[in-house]
Amino acid sequence: MGEIENVAQKNSTGRILVLGARGRLGFAAAEAFRDAGWTVKGLVRPGRSSFVPKGVEPVEAVTRDEAVAAGQGCDVVLNAFNPVITEWRRNALSLTYGAIAVAESNGATLMFPGSVWNFGKGMPPVLDESTPMQPTTRKGKMRVEMEQRIQEACDRGMRAIVLRAGDFFGAGRGSWLDLVILKDLERGRITYPGPEEVVHEWAYLPDFTTALVRLAAMRADFAPFETFGFSGHAVTGRQLISGIEDVTRQKYNARRMSWWMLKTFLRLLAIGREMSELEYLWRVPHRISGDKLRAAIGNVPHTPLPRALSAALRDLGHRP
Q: How far apart are the first and last CA of the chain?
A: 49
Assign 252 to helix, strand or coil. Answer: coil
Structure confidence at residue 82 (pLDDT): 81
CA–CA distance from 123 to each of 23, 73, 114, 225, 286 (Å)? 29, 40, 15, 23, 7
CATH domain 2-166+205-231+287-301 topology: Rossmann fold (3.40.50)
Structure confidence by residue, pLDDT tens digits, 79-116: 999 877 667 777 888 899 999 999 999 999 999 999 99
Structure confidence by residue, pLDDT tens digits, 20-49: 999 999 999 999 999 999 999 999 988 888
CA–CA distance from 265 to each of 89, 166, 269, 302 (Å)? 21, 28, 8, 40
Q: What is the mean pLDDT of residues 276-286?
A: 93
Assign 156 to helix, strand or coil. Answer: coil
Structure confidence by residue, pLDDT tens digits, 220-247: 999 999 999 999 999 999 999 999 999 9
| Residues 311/305, Cβ–Cβ less than 8 Å | no
CA–CA distance from 17 to each of 162, 198, 225 (Å)? 16, 38, 19
